[in-house]
Structure 1
Amino acid sequence: MKGLLFLTVVVVTAGLVAGQFGFPGASTGDGCNCQPPNYCAIDFGRIGRGCELSDGSQGVCCPAAGSGPSGPSSFGTRSSGMLNVNTRNAFAASRPGVAESQLEVGVRAGVAAVDSLAALEQSIVQSSSFLRRGTPESNHVHQSRIRQSARDMDKRAWAIVMASSNVMQNEGLTSSQGGLGLRNVRVSETSLRDRCPPTVTCRDPRSKYRTADGSCNNLQNAAFGQSNTPAQRILPPIYEDGVAGFRVTGEDGSPLPNVRRISSSIMVDINEPDTTFTLSVMQWAQFMDHDFAHIPFPSLENGQGIDCCPEDPNTPLHPRCQPIDISGDPFFSRFRRKCMNFVRSMLAVGPAEACTFGFAEQLNQLTHWIDGSNVYGSDENEQRAVRSFRNGLLKTSRGNMLPINPEQQGGECEAELRNAKCFLAGESRVNEQPGLTVIHTIWLREHNRVASELQQLNPQWSDEEVFQEARRIVIAEMQHITFNEWLPIIIGPQFVQAFGIQASPPGSGFSNDYDPSINPNMNNEFSTAAFRFGHSLVQGKINLIGRDGSLSSVLLRNNFNSPHLIQNEGRFDDLVRTLVQFPSQSFDNFVTQDLSNHLFQTPEFDFGMDLMSINIHRGRDHAIATYNSMREACGLRRAVNFDDLSDQIIPPLINRLKDLYKSVEDIDLFAGGMSETPLDGGLLGWTFTCIVGDQYTRLRKADRFFYDLGGQTGSFREDQLDELRKSSWARILCDNSELTAMQPLAFQLPTHKLNRPRSCQTLSIPRVDLRAWRGGRK
């Protein structure tokens, strides 16, 4: 396997054997460091020998802590920059010579554009010219909620972007001067300065707990990772006009291929179940995505959807509309559909010194951290909405389920269409599909389980103390499971080690690789393309396993945005069994038609939307770099022609790309990345591995509160850290469902002889011992 060209790996061998600290494993005297399987999950595929733990259950012979692939590593001289070190010069451009008076002309135009848009939307609301509820398009809109703070940020950014466009046109600037050059002009230098977000003030920089909105993690750059802030980029955008124009033309100036045609040609539905990994792999990916990335598209102020496919073709389109042409499509033509609704994403600007003119950047409504914001919310209002303010607990509903959303009218799902109600969680897309609702419920229960035990151990603690400490523990469990069990599956153990982000077992001590110079914010290439790889893993048919082993199934298309399967039919634990006993689909260019033809389908319709078309179109909306440019940024040779893609893509798929695109330079990143052959040991191809690995490195090394860091105000004690490193997905499921047996590595099918299901009570599925938090020693 090739090594990433921008990596210099330094392996540090330090640490002690876990058995020396009284853990259930022990040295057998023959060189076997016997431990529970999750202690060396990253090495599991290469371990051939089992052993016996102290309770008689089966463990595995793990490498000693700090040795081999489990040892910590770093980027060496590249540790603070990741990919952007190589691409920073691509953003360089001199400030264009624009007079202050001309800037003010642009400013006035930007303000006028915001006012004009507000008047237009008011007339749309008054005339009820919005999407009809109960349609797939409306279902798409009502999968999530847009906070007022996000709407306010979008208005700020819209004024600045419209001002930039006006200046570029009036002054005759090139696309580079308008998009990149104007990034050197601060908005604070103009009368539009009030549109810049206020400077973030950190109330208690020494707090051991994270803020709800993700701010103040980085004390030098307090807005790093904060919700309602912009994404960032690995490479400069390729907007049609350099500033904000939707990308519609290719290298030679001719129109880019139709996205539905690309979707139908490349991302067809073929059933290829994975032979190794459970459906949990897909579900964890979506849950993670909903922890750190949500770039919403706008709805009207009354919450209704913008109609970009009006029946009257003479109706003027909303300026944020960019509908997808599906005329003549073999599937949609059966339903006389010629247009698929598509609204462009909301925008954001950076705070203070980062508030500039120039190209548009998209808004992330969530915190940019792995911080459980999908459970706890991404601002204080969302956090208060899910708390009970009693004994540190989160709210629940009957059956120890998620609380019911009190705002049913115009809420975040279409549950009323199926006689159900919307659930409420820290992230508004909780009702999107049953597996997602299940994992939200599991982590709600885990928080309350931890909080209840902490309260019993420490009856003197207040509600706030219990809540914050339980939240801190739960976030640590999520982070450990992600880096110990899940991420090595996605990018492979070798690349986890190369990026220096592998988890360590108990007894390994603290990490010390925090780097405040790293910006953790979502890379647009990651959130808009690479991390959508999980759509390939989705099963269109949901198999349900009853308590008695009986098997039934439902179609995903009949369960979008409505938790009736859980709420009305009581299939929660059946779905949990499905997550760990059935495989995900393999990562490839094949995608279930439940996503490509029936996305957000409702009872009234036999069709939905096409997620693959939306993904490619969204990439053009965000003007993210092309596949060829990202290949190069990730160390591959830039393709001069289609045949040069053969280093990563098989010939049949190259031929399909050649039939679709006029130039190799035009290939959309999502289409190219989904076509790559997976690397040995991981799920993804080279380019997506590079982008995903880079982002997860940011999520770890830029996080001052990362669970295993030492020397920080939020650091755990070493005995507490050793307990947290016992966390596993299997243990979380054991503790928060009716399942009594589980394979120790629940992301992997129980086919390996050392991963056979065993009782949840065995030491081979260890539990975090919360007695380490007894007394006042939080």
Structure 2
Amino acid sequence: MSSRKQANLLNERISLVCLVFLWISPVVFATNYGADLVKDDNERLFLRDVESHILETERWLHEQAGQDGTDGELFERSRRDPHDLLMQFGFTHMMSDRMANAVRVLKNVSSTYSERTLSELSGPAKRELCSAAGVDYTVSDCPSTSIYRTHNGACNNPLNVNWGKAFTPFVRQLPAAYADALDNPRLAKSGEALPPPRLVCLGTIKDAEKDHDNSADHWTLLSMHFGQFLDHDVDHSALENVNCTCEITPKCLPIMIPSNDSFFTAHCFKFQRSVAVPDEDCNTSPRQQLNQITSFLDLSQVYGNSETQGKSLRDLSKGKGLLLSIDDPNSDVGHELLPNDEEHKDCIIASPQLKCGRTGDARAAEQPGLASLHTVLLRQHNRIAEKLSILNPGWNDEKLYQEARAVCIAMWQHIVYNEYLPPLLGSKNMAKHGLQVHPTSYLFGYDPHVNPSISNVFATAAFRMGHSQIPTTLLKLDRDYAEIEHVKLDETFFNATHLVTSPGHSGMDAFLRGMIVQKLLTIDLLLTAPITKHLFADPEDGQGLDLAALNIQRGRDHSIADYNAWRKYCKLPEAGSFDDLLDVMSEATVSVFRKTYESVNDIDLFPALIGETPERGQLVGATLACLIGEQFHRLKFGDRFWYENGLGEQAFKKAQLLEIRKVTMARVLCDTTNDVPTIQPYVFRVADTGTPPENAIKSFYTYSRENHFPGDAGDMPGFFNGRVSCQGDDNIPELNLEPWTEGYVDVTEDDGLDVPFGG
């Protein structure tokens, strides 16, 4: 027997053992988890007393609601006020409010019985106490079958059924850096207060009134829009739903504006703190924050984060597994639009028939680029579901929906790792973190001990790097890629009028064409005025909010450690002085940090991350590459439903996986737009013009299978990215859904899926 055959046989045996384990373990571990009972009689009596006190506290808090000043009043709307739009963007689910109330109850209990007494309770007792207060992160039962993902992310991991689930705390890779080890924001090394966030911005970040010349060579603005859409798939913290003023309270942490500010005249930016929740062990100190959505790359921004929400987004009337949609009222032909969100009170509507769209995420209408990508993925799901219904007329609505959802999620994961991440991180970091996709093989690298949950630092600082890539205007192009207009970003916030299809403007298609032509801005300390001065302003050129200042304050709210601590975490030398930062920053950047902060140990993480000089062949600096790479490693190897995973009943057939690997973002745009006749095969990269060199590869699908890219200098030698027809061009292959036909005979090992890899 050949060595290859022996290796294949060994892998099949390993697969069989692991598969049996994955089938039985969800039931075993979920059952054991629920049977973890409190057995100590004294502890049981104590718990009864505490639970009685919890009920008394809940009654008292209910009576006091709205009577303790600004901090206790529910947020009242003021249409189109910047702070109100910020609350719309930071939508807080009622589940988050319930958890926040539970923390207040538990803190009251702690003050009565002492932290020490409660900390000495056993794990089961603590969980029971948490449950009595209204918080239960645990899952007692998992579905009997694990072919499809749950909408809330539960039961993905058979050993830790709650990892990655919606409404669980962010994970911390470094301890919280609260000044009092409880919940007060970090202080400077000297013990004094850190400089106010707006003052930090004035000292370190330059405003750009128009798009600056610092464009990232070769890459398109689609990367920025795609990054925001991706971020909304994996993290969303909850904000306290209260009216804040310029007074610091337990729920409010206002950003004070210097009296000599050159632009803002208000005294402060109102700032609601993120909801405080117990950690997974039911400790309320130090303060911890909540992720309201699933951590997995599961298109939850399209499908929702609970079974109830998921069902509300479906069109159950046709029996084809479709998502709800509406026809474009301004077009006789064309693809469907997102259904109207009738509860969105801050949307500028295009007409009574066309409002901001309703999706699986409340932030979809924030700007037209984001809304366009939501629409694209809605159309993609419905397109696939329709085709599956033709191939499998015996499948019911649920089967068609779940299969189409699984295909779309797999395509999404493939595009994220095969197209979006490589230019961001560079080929060196892609290899370092095991992020490269394989051209032919299954992945046998799933690890149930890898926690895929989103880290606090990723959500609060690292993946906000895209804010530095936001342009001043959004480009709209016609079908021949001629300019229609530049739309000012600050007039598009929660504004549905820009997606209207009209003669000469072509609505969403015009924005999508603009995304794949407009150049991506570099990640640096130069941010555009629509987000540093006019964020959510009404009128659009008025005083809005400063997004950079909000990011810095959110980092302090979540007590993210200082930049130097994260350098050390990422194996960079710990800086003893500002000059030691010159290994990853320019002299000009180090100079502005030296003038703004008293100590090198005081620097807030967000401005430092975007201040790092991008390393050769990538769009980010060293610390950002570390934090982003590590998170995407965990999202890949900690996801049992990862599209390349060859173990378990959820695994795709070999032929199905080969088809999914054909998918590119260019193909998705071709299939879901009304009028994009030509497109470049790699839409994250600007289109090449002229005559292609001899023997150049013109298919991104082919090139990405044969090359680790980008090159050391960020280039793609041997690839020509010229525009080709969307219809019938082999350079942008189409997905063949025949392998999803009931009874389809799968391909054999000799057909190309026979070499296992482990990342």
The residue that corresponds to 1:259 in the other structure is 197
> Is it true that 1:451 corresponds to 2:418 in the alignment?
no
Structure 2 letter corresponding to 1:121: G
The one of the two structures with greater contact order (alpha-carbon pairs below 8 A, sep at least 6) is 1
Distance in 2 of aligned mates of 1:216 and 1:652: 49
> Is it true that 1:525 corresponds to 2:457 in the alignment?
yes
> Is it true that 1:415 corresponds to 2:348 in the alignment?
yes
The residue that corresponds to 1:404 in the other structure is 339
Q: Note the alpha carbon deviations across 1:284-318, whole angstroms, 9 max, x for none.
A: 11011000100021225xxxxx2324xxxxxx765
* Counterpart pick for 1:621 among 547, 557, 566: 557
Native 8 Å contact 1:294 1:366 kept in 2: yes
* Counterpart pick for 2:222 among 277, 280, 295: 280
Structure 1 letter corresponding to 2:282: C
The residue that corresponds to 2:32 in the other structure is none
SS in structure 1 opposite 2:475? strand
Q: Normalising by the residue count of structure 1, what TM-score does the alignment of the two structures yield? A: 0.79
Residues 488 and 191 (structure 1 numbering): CA distance in 2 closer, same or farther, change over 3 Å? Answer: closer
Distance in 1 of aligned mates of 2:350 and 2:203: 33
The residue that corresponds to 1:358 in the other structure is 285
> Is it true that 1:377 corresponds to 2:307 in the alignment?
no
Native 8 Å contact 2:385 2:400 kept in 1: yes
Structure 1 letter corresponding to 2:612: E
Residues 699 and 412 (structure 1 numbering): CA distance in 2 closer, same or farther, change over 3 Å? Answer: farther
Native 8 Å contact 1:268 1:589 kept in 2: yes
Native 8 Å contact 2:490 2:541 kept in 1: no
SS in structure 2 opposite 1:539? coil
> Is it true that 1:338 corresponds to 2:267 in the alignment?
yes
Structure 1 letter corresponding to 2:384: V
Structure 1 position 194, deviation (Å):
1.1
The residue that corresponds to 1:771 in the other structure is 738
Structure 1 position 360, deviation (Å):
1.8
> Is it true that 1:194 corresponds to 2:160 in the alignment?
no
Q: Note the alpha carbon deviations across 1:239-271, whole angstroms, 9 max, x for none.
A: 122122233x21111110111111122221341
Distance in 1 of aligned mates of 2:182 and 2:733: 53
Structure 2 letter corresponding to 1:713: E
Structure 1 position 581, deviation (Å):
1.1
Q: Note the alpha carbon deviations across 1:520-549, whole angstroms, 9 max, x for none.
A: 111111110010000011111111112352
Structure 1 position 331, deviation (Å):
3.8
Structure 1 position 647, deviation (Å):
0.8
The residue that corresponds to 1:394 in the other structure is 323
Structure 1 position 412, deviation (Å):
6.3
> Is it true that 1:320 corresponds to 2:251 in the alignment?
yes
The residue that corresponds to 2:184 in the other structure is 245
Distance in 1 of aligned mates of 2:236 and 2:632: 16
1:89-238 matches, within 5 Å, as 112=57, 115-116=60-61, 119-121=64-66, 130-160=76-106, 166=111, 188=126, 193-195=131-133, 196-197=135-136, 199-238=138-177
Range with bigger deviation, 541-550 or 206-215: 541-550
Native 8 Å contact 1:185 1:356 kept in 2: no
Structure 1 position 361, deviation (Å):
1.3
1:433-472 matches, within 5 Å, as 433-472=367-406
Native 8 Å contact 2:475 2:483 kept in 1: no
Residues 418 and 273 (structure 1 numbering): CA distance in 2 closer, same or farther, change over 3 Å? Answer: farther
Distance in 1 of aligned mates of 2:554 and 2:582: 26
Distance in 2 of aligned mates of 1:609 and 1:122: 29
Native 8 Å contact 2:93 2:238 kept in 1: no
Native 8 Å contact 2:66 2:74 kept in 1: no
Q: Note the alpha carbon deviations across 1:198-241, whole angstroms, 9 max, x for none.
A: 63033424321000100000011111111010000110001122
The residue that corresponds to 2:641 in the other structure is 705
Structure 2 letter corresponding to 1:320: K
1:735-754 matches, within 5 Å, as 735-737=671-673, 738-751=675-688, 753=692, 754=720
SS in structure 2 opposite 1:430? coil
SS in structure 1 opposite 2:175? coil
Q: Note the alpha carbon deviations across 1:620-670, whole angstroms, 9 max, x for none.
A: 000011100000010011111111111111111111111111111111111
**Paired-residue identity, %:** 32
Distance in 2 of aligned mates of 1:106 and 1:185: 16
Distance in 2 of aligned mates of 1:190 and 1:463: 39
Range with bigger deviation, 734-743 or 142-151: 142-151
Native 8 Å contact 1:403 1:424 kept in 2: yes
The residue that corresponds to 1:51 in the other structure is none
Structure 1 position 473, deviation (Å):
0.2
Structure 1 position 357, deviation (Å):
4.2
Residues 215 and 377 (structure 1 numbering): CA distance in 2 closer, same or farther, change over 3 Å? Answer: same
Q: Normalising by the residue count of structure 2, what TM-score does the alignment of the two structures yield? A: 0.81
The residue that corresponds to 1:78 in the other structure is none
Native 8 Å contact 2:51 2:129 kept in 1: no
Structure 1 position 127, deviation (Å):
8.4
Structure 2 letter corresponding to 1:394: L
Structure 2 letter corresponding to 1:257: P
CA-atom RMSD in angstroms: 3.1
Q: Note the alpha carbon deviations across 1:458-493, whole angstroms, 9 max, x for none.
A: 111111111000000000000000111111111111
SS in structure 2 opposite 1:200? coil
SS in structure 2 opposite 1:581? coil
Residues 257 and 418 (structure 1 numbering): CA distance in 2 closer, same or farther, change over 3 Å? Answer: farther
Native 8 Å contact 1:277 1:749 kept in 2: yes
Structure 1 letter corresponding to 2:339: I
Residues 771 and 551 (structure 1 numbering): CA distance in 2 closer, same or farther, change over 3 Å? Answer: same
